[in-house]
């Protein structure tokens, strides 16, 4: 029966098959030692030579005691009691200095703890007692690797392989060390030798291809790949590898035929269709490529994540070239994902992203909501929905959606901000204040979000006619951030509406306009303060500037301009702008009376 240590060496074999050198050597130590048990004194099964170290005289009683200690140590090791195991192995070695298995097991524990030098001393002692035991030599080689002494490790593997040239296991370990040391040409020689012993091997052929590719010997790699298909005509992976090599070497037609052969082999699979799509894309035949791509999207075998990555490629291309065409293709593919995977929320989210990107806001929101119904646990999706509500100016929906989101994220401050804003726009100011106050209380680290809450609370308390509270919040916002242009503007505007501290209001408005000189609302505020101060010519200049800045002037700006024109004696123009204000939206409570009576009311 082979010792358990052999399994450990096999793990190392699996570890070292990569083309690049392993950078984090301590991982190997873990692989060497995990689960390793006693070597069971297998030296009795190996050839005896004259190279053994002279044995010390040990009585039968001491040998039996050492063996018993070895068994106890192995039990402790299996239980994970490494300290007790090490102590018992050491006692076994002290009791019988010829007990090579005790030294071997003790060496593995030393290595496991990171004491490579101590491990080397112990395993070398085991090897002195039984120099023909290959497992001791293999552990010595492993410790050399851990100590970054690759040449010494290589020499041991060369000796073991040379001693038993038909031992495939030793040959594969030599292959591993050559690949680890990046001696790729030597590695090919070992692969050829192994194949001469056991015949053609799938794994070894793939390794050989990797080596040829690494060495830039692509034609050799192609020969090997073609051989693999001859030996394994049903293995789809080999068609992919060969097709890729043909593409790399400019043999596109051969690649196409290989992919078509693969399509015949697995006609229901998406893989050959994706490969053909890539082929035709590289030939700049975008329509044929897209047709194969759509066929691959019909497959449920292809996972949603892979499909989404492809959709995002088209969205990226839309940023680079031919936006309308690529967006349309992204939409088509996204709809196919929904058709194929109707229960996957990500399908709806990606379609929503495309529609949002294309400024189809209502349609985008509908897709996000469908996805959120399937998976309501994504905060970013709810934020996207609420942002779309805000852009669309649909505050009743914003209120409803914020309440839905709060059922799942009651401790997320940003949702209370949306909820408070919706209530404020719907003129439920008390509900707005309650929501905003709570949101502010749970906002700990996000200073920008705190500023938003504080500024909006200033607005809400103004509408509640709680001016002292309103002024306190505005002042707090400005004290925390003197560049908070929104707080400066809103505070100064509300002071102007109240006709209070106009000089102070004018200074704050002037600063807001310097911070953001292209904001129509800020320009209107400055003009309205001038109006309240009786400076009608200045007021006309600034409010007209606000009209010119606005793409679609608000009712408030239009009404203000009408008021200014009335003060300047142009009553016909005043009436014109009051009527425009009425058509644009909701003006002041006196707007309709101004229009009806053709006179200014303040």
- Confidence band for 403, pLDDT divided at 50, 70 and 90: very high
Looking at residue 33, its pLDDT comes to 36
pLDDT tens-digit series, residues 45-79: 333 333 455 677 889 899 999 999 999 999 999 99
Looking at residue 323, its pLDDT comes to 81
* Mean pLDDT confidence for 109-118: 93
Looking at residue 396, its pLDDT comes to 97
For 419-458, the DSSP string reads: HHHHHHHTT-HHHHHHHHHHHHHT--S-HHHHHHHHHHHH
Looking at residue 21, its pLDDT comes to 31
pLDDT at 31 over 60: no
* Mean pLDDT confidence for 477-492: 96
Contact 93, 110 (CB under 8 A): no
pLDDT at 541 over 80: yes
- Confidence band for 423, pLDDT divided at 50, 70 and 90: very high
CB contact set of 561 (below 8 Å; sequence gap of 6+): 540, 543, 544, 547, 577
- Which pairs from 10-15 meet CB under 8 Å and 24+ separation? 12/142, 12/173, 12/176, 13/172, 13/173, 13/176
pLDDT tens-digit series, residues 152-182: 989 999 899 899 999 989 988 998 898 888 8
Backbone dihedral angles phi then psi of residue 599, each to the nearest 5 degrees = -145, 160
Query: Cα-Cα-Cα-Cα dihedral of 424, 426, 428, 431, to 10°?
Result: -60
- Confidence band for 228, pLDDT divided at 50, 70 and 90: confident
- Confidence band for 3, pLDDT divided at 50, 70 and 90: very low
Domains annotated on the chain, with CATH: 1-148 (1.25.40.10), 201-292 (1.25.40.10), 460-597 (1.25.40.10)
Question: What mean pLDDT, rounded, does the chain reach?
Answer: 87
Looking at residue 53, its pLDDT comes to 58
Contact 260, 276 (CB under 8 A): yes
The number of angstroms, rounded, from the C-alpha of 122 to the middle of its chain's C-alpha atoms is: 46
pLDDT tens-digit series, residues 307-326: 999 998 888 887 767 788 88
The number of angstroms, rounded, from the C-alpha of 523 to the middle of its chain's C-alpha atoms is: 44
Nearest Cα residue to 352 out of 318, 395, 315: 315
pLDDT tens-digit series, residues 564-575: 999 999 999 999
φ/ψ region of 73 (left if φ > 0, alpha if ψ in -120 to 50, else beta) reads alpha
CA distances, 106 to each of 71, 85, 86 (Å): 13, 8, 6
Nearest Cα residue to 133 out of 34, 220, 3: 3
CA distances, 553 to each of 171, 327, 378, 487 (Å): 83, 32, 37, 21
Looking at residue 35, its pLDDT comes to 35
In b/e form, how buried is each residue of 546-581, taking b as 16+ CB within 10 angstroms?
A: bbebbeebbbbbbbbbbbbbbbeeeeeebbebbebb
CB contact set of 205 (below 8 Å; sequence gap of 6+): 224, 227, 228
- Confidence band for 15, pLDDT divided at 50, 70 and 90: very low
Least confident of 172-186, 451-465, 520-534: 172-186
CB contact set of 532 (below 8 Å; sequence gap of 6+): 496, 499, 502
pLDDT at 6 over 80: no
pLDDT at 38 over 80: no
Query: Cα-Cα-Cα-Cα dihedral of 326, 328, 334, 338, to 10°?
Result: -170
Its sign, for the CA torsion 382, 388, 393, 394, is negative
- Give the whole-angstrom CA distance, residue 583 versus residue 591: 11
pLDDT tens-digit series, residues 351-360: 999 999 999 9
Residue 61 tokens read as: 């009683």
Least confident of 253-267, 370-384, 525-539: 253-267
> For residue 236, how many other CB atoms are within 10 A of its CB?
14
For 197-223, the DSSP string reads: HH---HHHHHHHHHHHHHTT-HHHHHH
Place of tokens 């009791």: 95
The burial class, CB within 10 Å (0-12 / 13-18 / 19+), for 410 is: exposed
Cα Rg of the chain, angstroms: 40
In b/e form, how buried is each residue of 374-405, taking b as 16+ CB within 10 angstroms?
A: eebebeebbbbbbbbbbeeebbebbbebbebb
Least confident of 97-111, 128-142, 178-192: 178-192
Nearest Cα residue to 126 out of 48, 41, 37: 41
């Amino acid at each position: 029966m082979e010792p358990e240590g052999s399994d450990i060496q096999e793990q190392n074999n699996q570890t070292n098959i990569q083309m690049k050198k392993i950078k984090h050597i301590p991982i190997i130590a873990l692989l060497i030692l995990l689960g390793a048990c006693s070597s069971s004194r297998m030296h009795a099964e190996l050839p005896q030579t004259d190279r053994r170290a002279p044995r010390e005289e040990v009585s039968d009683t001491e040998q039996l005691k050492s063996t018993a200690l070895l068994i106890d140590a192995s039990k402790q090791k299996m239980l994970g009691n490494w300290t007790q195991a090490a102590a018992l192995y050491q006692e076994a070695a002290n009791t019988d200095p010829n007990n090579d298995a005790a030294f071997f097991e003790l060496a593995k524990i030393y290595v496991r703890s990171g004491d490579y030098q101590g491990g080397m001393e112990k395993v070398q002692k085991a090897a002195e007692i039984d120099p023909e035991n290959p497992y001791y030599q293999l552990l010595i080689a492993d410790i050399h690797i851990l100590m970054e002494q690759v040449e010494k490790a290589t020499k041991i593997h060369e000796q073991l392989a040379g001693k038993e040239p038909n031992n495939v296991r030793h040959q594969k370990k030599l292959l591993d060390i050559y690949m680890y040391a990046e001696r790729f040409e030597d590695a090919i020689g070992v692969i050829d030798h192994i194949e001469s012993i056991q015949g053609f091997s799938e794994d070894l052929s793939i390794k050989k291809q990797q080596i040829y590719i690494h060495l830039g010997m692509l034609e050799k790699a192609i020969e090997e790949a073609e051989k693999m298909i001859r030996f394994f005509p049903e293995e789809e992976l080999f068609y992919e590898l060969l097709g890729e090599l043909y593409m790399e070497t400019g043999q596109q037609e051969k690649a196409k035929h290989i992919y078509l052969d693969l399509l015949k082999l697995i006609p229901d699979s998406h893989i050959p269709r994706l490969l053909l799509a890539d082929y035709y894309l590289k030939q700049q035949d975008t329509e044929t490529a897209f047709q194969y791509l759509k066929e691959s999207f019909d497959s449920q075998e292809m996972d949603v994540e892979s499909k989404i990555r492809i959709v995002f490629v088209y969205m990226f291309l839309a940023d680079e070239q031919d936006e309308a065409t690529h967006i349309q293709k992204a939409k088509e593919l996204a709809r196919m994902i929904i058709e194929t995977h109707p229960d996957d929320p990500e399908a709806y989210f990606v379609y929503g992203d495309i529609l949002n990107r294309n400024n189809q806001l209502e349609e985008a929101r509908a897709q996000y909501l469908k996805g959120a119904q399937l998976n309501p646990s994504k905060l970013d999706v709810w934020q996207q929905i609420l942002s779309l509500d805000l852009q669309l100016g649909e505050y009743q929906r914003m209120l409803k959606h914020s309440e839905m989101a709060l059922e799942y994220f009651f401790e997320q401050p940003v949702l209370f901000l949306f909820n408070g804003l919706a209530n404020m726009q719907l003129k439920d100011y008390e509900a707005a204040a309650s929501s905003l106050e709570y949101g502010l209380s749970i906002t700990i680290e996000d200073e920008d979000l705190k500023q938003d809450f504080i500024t909006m609370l200033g607005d809400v308390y103004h509408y509640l006619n709680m001016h002292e509270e309103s002024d306190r919040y505005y002042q707090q916002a400005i004290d925390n951030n003197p560049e908070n242009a929104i707080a400066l503007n809103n505070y100064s505007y509300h002071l102007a509406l109240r006709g209070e501290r106009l000089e102070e209001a004018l200074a704050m408005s002037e600063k807001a306009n310097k911070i953001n000189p292209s904001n129509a609302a800020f320009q209107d505020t400055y003009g309205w303060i001038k109006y309240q101060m009786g400076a009608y010519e200045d007021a006309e200049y600034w409010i007209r500037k606000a009209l010119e800045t606005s793409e679609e002037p608000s009712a408030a700006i239009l009404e203000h301009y009408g008021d200014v024109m009335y003060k300047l004696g142009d009553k016909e123009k005043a009436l014109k702008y009051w009527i425009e204000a009425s058509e644009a939206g909701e003006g002041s409570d006196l707007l309709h009376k101004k229009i009806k009576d053709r006179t200014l009311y303040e």
